[in-house]
Homo-oligomer: A and B are copies of this chain.
Amino acid sequence: MHWRIGLVGFGNVGKAFVSLYREFREIWNKRFGLTSDFVFILNSRGGIFDEKGISDEALNEALSSKEGLTSLKGWRKGLKFEDLIDSANINLLVEVSPTNIKNGEPALSYIKSALSKGIHVVTGNKGPFLYNFRELFDLAKEKKCFLGIGCTAGAALPSINFGLGSLSGSRIDRIEGVLNGVCNFILTSMEEKGISFEEALKIAQEMGIAETDPSLDIDGWDTASKILIIANYLMDSSLTLKDIQVKGIRGISQKEILDAKKIGKRLKLAGVAVRDGERVKAEVKLIEVGENHFLFDLRGTNKGILYVTYPAGEFFVKGGASSPTGAGYSIWRDIINFQFKLQ
């Protein structure tokens, strides 16, 4: 399959996505028959476009230059998705612009527009799925398009992939995940170093793990978005962000951490989804886990997810530490898995 890719978003993840293709293209071509052209690349201010495929030289320049796209000869300020989607003749939209948890825009419109024209979509953007999950998957089904969202639910941590390929045909009754590396780093640091929430957050910010505005992470919304997407995908629910009770870790006291430690336990911020008859309930909360719990040994920025299933049994997956490379890889993973099914 030859992919003509339109890429929206050229931050760290978008760059890693392009860079990985250049590193692995010979292997993937040989192994999967996968080849690609990048037809357009857009950021929030404009972009580049070449119907014949953006040249290797231009891609190299864009990847290595500090200014990114704007330094390129072909840079067109104000170039917009709407200008290209009908004429650029792409067969795959890769959408990796930042998440907007309020209404998913502008990514939501981009994805709808692409799917409605029969263009496959792979995205790392959670926003569009927080209120419109079923609508988007129904549209993809109607248009016989692939809609790959593995990256949205933990990046390289294969939360959705594991549920699909490793638990095929099994009923998933419960999912518990430590899905946010920042929160786990803060909780681990507070316990190990005996420091306060504020101190641990500051360290995370200085290390570049946490954002200047860490609200999405520490107030639990990132975890909520991920457990929503995982539950909707793997447990056939139709949750929206409003259906999820969310408690974060902002301002958690040292006493709470140390009280747990005294009795050999640890606090974890977990996204939990549970099958309850025909319904699925999801929430984000602090859970106290003992040393026999699957999540007990997840330290620092590590993520992990537990699946309680029938008849396959219980499984725990950990790994996929947060990184642009991991996120960029997870976009390719979706593409490769889709391509495998096509063959």
Restricting to A216-273, which residues have a CB under 8 Å from any CB of B?
none
Within 8 A of B (CB), among A317-343: 317-321, 323, 325-326, 328-330, 332-333, 336-337, 340-341, 343
Contact check, A161 vs B166: say whether CB atoms are below 8 A apart: yes
Which of B162, B311, B340, B343 makes the CB contact (< 8 A) with A326?
A: B311
Q: How far is the CA of A296 from the CA of B313 in the complex (A)?
A: 21
A277 interfacial contact with B, CB 8 Å: no
CA distance A165 to B313 in the complex (A): 19
User: When the two chains form the complex, which single residue of B170, B292, B325, B341 contacts A311, counting CB atoms closer than 8 Å?
Assistant: B325
A312 and B341 form a contact (CB under 8 A): no
Give CA–CA (A96, B63) in the complex, Å. 52
Which residues of chain A from 291 to 323 have any CB-CB distance to chain B below 8 Å in the complex? 291-292, 294, 296-297, 299, 307, 311-321, 323
A155 → B minimal CB distance (Å): 9
Decide yes or no whether A169 CB sits under 8 A from chain B: yes
CA distance A264 to B332 in the complex (A): 40
**Is B166 touching A313 in the complex (CB atoms < 8 A)?**
no
Q: Does A20 contact B (CB under 8 A)?
A: yes
Chain A interfacial residues counted at CB < 8 A: 51
Find the B residue at minimum CB distance from A165.
B165
B317→A316 contact, CB < 8 A: yes
Once the chains bind, are B315 and A158 in contact (CB under 8 Å)?
Answer: yes
Q: Which residues of B contact A340 (CB under 8 A)?
A: 168, 341
Q: Are A166 and B170 touching (Cβ within 8 A)?
A: no
How long is the Cα–Cα vector from A315 to B158 in the complex, in angstroms? 9
Given contacts A311-B325, A311-B329, A312-B156, contact A24 B169 (CB under 8 A): yes
Contact of A316 among B167, B312, B319 (CB under 8 A): B319
CB contact under 8 A between A323 and B313, given known A166-B165, A169-B32: yes
Contact A321–B316 (Cβ < 8 Å): no
Across the interface, name the chain B residue whose C-beta is closest to A171: B27
Nearest CB of B to A77, in Å: 33
B333–A168 touching, CB < 8 Å: yes
A287 at the interface (CB under 8 A from B): no
Across-interface contacts of A171 in B (CB, < 8 A):
27
Q: For A343, give the chain B residue with the smallest CB separation.
A: B341
Nearest-neighbour CB distance to chain B for A307, whole angstroms, equals 8
Given contacts A32-B169, A165-B165, A169-B28, contact A312 B326 (CB under 8 A): yes
* Given known contacts A170-B329, A297-B297, A320 and B313 CB-to-CB distance under 8 angstroms: yes
**B313 near A319: Cβ-Cβ < 8 Å:** yes
Residues of chain A in range 10-41 having any CB-CB distance to chain B below 8 Å: 20, 23-24, 27-28, 31-32
Chain B residues with Cβ below 8 Å from A315 are 157-158, 317-320
